[in-house]
């Protein structure tokens, strides 16, 4: 597969492969976003708040994932290309310089898109969690979601990484040796992994195992997908560079394939309630779809690399098919990150918990106590506290005047009053005028909502992990932002 020279009568031909690559790249991105939306609809990730907000949140998540993978691939290419350069002929060395410069320019665009999509995604995810259109949110509410809740902090830290990669890329465009490419590569991988670490894995009962598995899974997948796409678009036309780079990437890709497969199995084991969950839950169906795509990728990967090494054409058709399947897998993975697992470790409609799984008898955060209005599947819109625990009301209590009947140790040992301890109580999607407090006989100051005293269920983990307490004894119910009882769970 020869190179096309610049200039002269063949200038039009020289731009044709580049044009085809741009069209193919746009198609891959569209495929990933379309797969995310379609898989989200089938898996149950698009229910809860407004459909438009959910579609937008899923699309921006998929787009950000694609941009992050591109950044990882471009920086990986920057690490692979110089190796063995001394053995390249002079013409190939000139191609090497051109490809490196082009990779840096594309990295600027990819990192910029990644940053923008993450910022937009934060606003959409906050709107989804609060159940209101993005334009109706205050800057304080969006900031609080992004800084106080696990999923928000993950996206915010990823945005910081995207901005750092963008800065590195701009510096390298101005002077190629201004920033070592390995610095940008490390930051890109970290930024790619962060949102996944603060999603399902942050609330998983097997927390340590889940974190290790998801980090390995996302990191290996990004190196594999991004590296192949970068080789295909930027290097495939330069035979000498391809011969120099492909063997090392093939070894890396084989390791990434094994890591993705092993970590995928671990992720499934920590999220699924048995094998039946693969067939009778939306989350399980997406796991099956992703597994099938992984198998197809393994076959296409071997075929593509054999064709590239043999110089058989058209390369784009086969390697492009592999990247297309990868784009589908990225889309399914994005939908999977938004879909509630059957083990209940993620609500699917809000954010991951801001803290760990320690149980507390009463709320005792520092700074202020937030009451958030969030979507919670079958319960509809409910209220959670600062640590993202469900808040309950008792039908035996009275809102007019606010009166608690849960006073003895037998009751408070299970249903802990939500106490302010002098802290300010701030509504996040909850009307501040409905929030109040009452003085308990023991001297505590209990928070009320529309007059109803509020409680936490002792032992219930953060992150809306359980909803079985709703309707307990026919009197204990999760509370809505208006003070009404939540729908039966």
How do 425-428 and 369-375 pair as beta strands? parallel
Residue 224: the pLDDT is 86
DSSP string, 212-229: HHHHHHHHHHHHHHHHHH
User: What tokens were used for 9?
Assistant: 């009568």
Residue 213: strand pairing partners: none
Residue 461: the pLDDT is 67
Q: Enter the pTM of the model.
A: 0.69
**Whole-number Å distance between alpha carbons of 340 and 121:** 18
User: What are the φ/ψ torsions at residue 89 (nearest 5 degrees)?
Assistant: -70, 165
In contact, 480 and 488? CB cutoff 8 Å: no
In contact, 73 and 229? CB cutoff 8 Å: yes
Determine the Cα angle at 89 with ends 84 and 94, to 5°.
90
Identify the residue whose tokens are 């969006």. 142
**Whole-number Å distance between alpha carbons of 456 and 464:** 12
> 383: part of which helix (H) or strand (E)?
strand 381-384
Residue-by-residue pLDDT tens, the chain, 489 positions? 333 334 444 444 444 666 766 776 777 777 777 766 776 666 555 555 567 777 888 888 888 988 999 999 999 999 988 776 667 777 788 888 899 999 999 999 999 999 999 999 999 888 876 667 888 888 877 887 787 666 778 889 999 999 999 999 999 999 988 999 999 999 999 999 888 776 544 444 445 666 777 788 888 888 988 888 888 888 888 888 888 888 888 889 888 888 888 887 777 766 666 666 667 666 677 777 777 887 787 777 667 667 656 665 455 566 667 777 777 777 777 666 666 555 444 433 333 333 222 233 333 333 578 888 876 666 778 898 877 788 999 999 999 999 999 999 999 999 999 998 777 888 887 888 899 999 999 889 999 999 999 999 988 766 544 456 888 888 999 999 999 998 764
Residue 370: strand pairing partners: 426
Who's near 474: CB < 8 A, 6+ residues apart? 395
User: What tokens were used for 335?
Assistant: 């939908």
């Amino acid at each position: 597969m020869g190179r096309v020279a610049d200039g002269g009568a063949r200038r039009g031909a020289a731009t044709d492969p580049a044009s085809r690559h741009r069209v193919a790249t746009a198609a891959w991105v569209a495929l990933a976003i379309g797969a995310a939306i379609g898989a989200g609809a089938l898996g149950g990730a698009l229910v809860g708040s407004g459909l438009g907000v959910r579609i937008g949140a899923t699309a921006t998540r998929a787009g950000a994932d694609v941009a992050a993978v591109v950044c990882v691939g471009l920086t990986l290419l920057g690490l692979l290309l110089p190796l063995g350069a001394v053995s390249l002929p002079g013409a190939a060395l000139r191609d090497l310089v051109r490809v490196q410069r082009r990779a840096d320019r594309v990295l600027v665009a990819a990192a910029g898109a990644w940053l923008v999509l993450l910022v937009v995604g934060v606003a959409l995810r906050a709107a989804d969690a609060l159940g209101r259109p993005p334009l109706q949110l205050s800057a304080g509410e969006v900031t609080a979601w992004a800084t106080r809740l696990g999923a928000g902090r993950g996206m915010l830290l990823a945005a910081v990484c995207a901005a750092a990669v963008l800065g590195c890329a701009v510096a390298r465009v101005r002077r190629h040796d201004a920033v070592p490419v390995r610095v940008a590569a490390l930051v890109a991988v970290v930024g790619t992994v962060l949102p996944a670490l603060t999603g399902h894995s942050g609330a998983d009962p097997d927390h340590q195992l889940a974190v290790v598995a998801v980090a390995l899974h996302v990191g290996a997948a990004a190196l594999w997908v991004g590296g192949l796409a970068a080789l295909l678009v930027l290097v495939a036309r330069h035979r000498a560079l391809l011969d120099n780079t492909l063997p090392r990437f093939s070894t890396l890709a084989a390791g990434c394939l094994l890591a993705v497969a092993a970590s995928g199995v671990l992720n499934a084991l920590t999220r699924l309630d048995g094998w039946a969950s693969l067939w009778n839950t939306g989350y399980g169906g997406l796991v099956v779809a992703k597994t099938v795509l992984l198998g197809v990728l393994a076959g296409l990967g071997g075929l593509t690399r054999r064709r590239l090494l043999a110089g058989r054409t058209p390369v784009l058709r086969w390697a492009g098919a592999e990247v297309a399947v990868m784009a589908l897998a990225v889309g399914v993975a994005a939908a999977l990150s938004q879909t509630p697992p059957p083990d209940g470790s993620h609500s699917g409609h809000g954010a991951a918990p801001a803290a760990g799984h320690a149980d507390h008898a009463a709320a005792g955060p520092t700074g202020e106590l937030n009451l958030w209005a969030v979507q919670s599947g079958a319960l509809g819109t409910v209220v959670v506290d600062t640590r993202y625990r469900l808040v309950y009301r008792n039908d035996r209590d009275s809102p007019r005047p606010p009166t608690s009947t849960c006073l003895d140790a037998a009751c408070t040992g299970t249903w802990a009053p939500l106490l302010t301890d002098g802290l300010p109580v701030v509504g996040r999607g909850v009307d501040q005028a409905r929030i109040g407090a009452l003085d308990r006989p023991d001297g505590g100051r209990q928070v009320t909502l529309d007059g109803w005293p509020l409680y936490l269920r002792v032992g219930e983990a953060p992150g809306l992990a359980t909803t079985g307490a709703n309707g307990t004894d026919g009197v204990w119910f999760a509370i809505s932002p208006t003070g009404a009882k939540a729908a039966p769970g």
